[in-house]
Chains A and B, each alone.
Chain A
Amino acid sequence: MKRFIKTLKTTAAIAAVATVAFAPSMAKADASLNTDITASVLNAFNLVETTPMSFGSFAIFTDGATSTTIDLDLADTGTYDSANDGTTRTLPITAPTTGVFDISAAAPTAEINIAYSASVSLVCGVGGGCSGAEPDFTVDTWTDNSVAGVITTDVAGAFTLTTGATLTSDAAAAVGAYEDGTYTGTLTIDATY
């Protein structure tokens, strides 16, 4: 009987110690799960030229003292400056075309800022069929269908940008200085969110 009581006491003690030891886990258990959280940055989108800007073909007369201009508006109609009609002027031969640039794969209904090179020189040179001694043209004063330099993409993240500009001849170009040839330059358009 004594041994029975002693054994029972021992068992009770073990149970009590075990209960105390494990009590916190019984009163407050926990479980956990690892989960992946993601985000994706996509700043890049497409900007593709579909129609190069062109001032067409024209004849030009210069006097070595004044410049002349062709203003290319968004309706593809070049306005030819004839203020200096006695000397420096241009005469259209083929029509100019505005530049057309497609933006795609951008964020939907997002504002994108449009910026152009300050100016672009159109150079003929040997590659364009000239001697290299001819003067350049300058193109600047960009106009486009943005609102103060900001366009808004459609729900598909697309926009068609139409761009015009003004071509100006070199005021110092002497009579006959501009040679027959193709004058080209590279315009850089920055489109950023």
Chain B
Amino acid sequence: MNLLALPVLIPLLAGSLLLLLPNRQLRSLLAFFAAVLVLVCELIILQNVLSGKVLVLQMANWPAPWGISLVADILTGIMLTLSGLTGLLTVLFASSSLQHQAHWGKTKGLNALRERYGFQALLQFLIMGVNMSFLTADLFNLFVAFEVMLIASYGLLLLGNELPQLREGFKYVIVNLIASAIFVVAAGLVYGLVGTLNMADIAFKIAEYTAVQGPDARIRLLAMLLALVFATKSALFPLGFWLPNSYPVPAAAASAFFAAMLTKVGVYSLTRTFTLMFPEETFIKTLLLVLAGLSMLVGALGMITQSRWRHAFAFANVSSVGYLLMGIFTGANAGLAAALYYLIHSVLVIFCLFLIAALAERIAGLKFTLSGHLNTYPYLALAYFIAALALAGLPPTSGFIAKYALIASLLNAGGGLHTGLAIAAVLSGFLLLYAAMKLWRSFFWGEAKVVHKVALPAGMKLITGLSFGLMVLLAVFAGPVYQVSNRAAMQLATNQAYLEAVLVRIDGPRIGDEPKPLEQDGLTEEVN
């Protein structure tokens, strides 16, 4: 299935071309076409995996445990589609928002510079890295995909050279480099211990080993290292300190994509690690479950303390990662399905909130302390109000469905810990609601002290409207989407389809066989 390589190759080509193009319109056009093409490919992939197949591409036709495989099951299909949708909207939003100058203060003239120095190209490379990390079925290739993604994100974060960017960018780079170093060590040790880097093969060999030998401390150590790395990337509570300050500093389009997708890559990797490779590590899973509950609360509390748009939503992002991981590590299929629905919801809502923040920052600067914008910007107020309800989890939004399913699955799982977490989830929902309404009161509500109207670029408004529409569609089509996430969860729970698709080939050897001796034809004689 060569289709699987396209979501990686198209952004790579487009990004490289974008660096060469001299003209802003051409760049916007090319970036747009690339994003549309990628989205089409990803929709075709999604359609294919929904028919029950697991798509596999063995790179260069090397059989599975030796070559690098790209694999797509339903979870991958969902993630790819989300990345394609938010990627397309981000590209469009960037073309619009970077074209028009920000009105206030120092950021004047900055956006044009950002566009001039490769914003769109970096965005394509970022999308490439994100797609590659969703598709790859090889641990070391996952590391490479993370690095592609992170290096592009360093570029986007630092583009503009503002003081906050330099300061937070430095922390961001350092934290991620340390995590990457741990990731390399973990990958190397996995290879040393298990003898393979293919995730399916690792899963198979570890299952075989533990079935005979019982649990092994070395395997737990490896699982712990990987959990540490991915928890750092997904900003889980004690490791997520870098996120709330660093995500608000780049250009608005970049922060929206960061918040929507980058932490979800970490969440995706954690899901793969603990459903596929290390399904038996219950201790680490419980640990992650507790930390997820804590980060849910910390994110919500953090959001209350903030007085700047994107800082507040960055904390909301931390909280949503907590909800997500809580569902994933509940240990029940229902929890996983709820978490996957929550994942779709969270990507769309956080994305929409960051776009709203971008518009609001155009109106009144980085803070939301000036009241009375309800009359001047009624549609923005409406969009924010619905998105805030979705964030907090009130009906009739998708947030309610997602959180209801999550909490119900926690209560069904029973046990003191799960009940406590369910209570924490409800509490955190109320805290989020309070924070969101505090923002509402201080920006939209109240008496308008100044008559003030800024002409917002039509493109930015349109894209925000589109992302808002996606969020509404998710609530309207909650039934079908929930069924898809249910099927994805079933597929993750057994892994049978995944393992069979990756490791068995028509003409290749089966896993566990000794590799066939290489045929010594012609070549040997030629050398001799």
Instruction: Verify that A and B bind, or say they do not.
Output: no
Chain B positions within 8 Å of A, measured between CB atoms, are: none
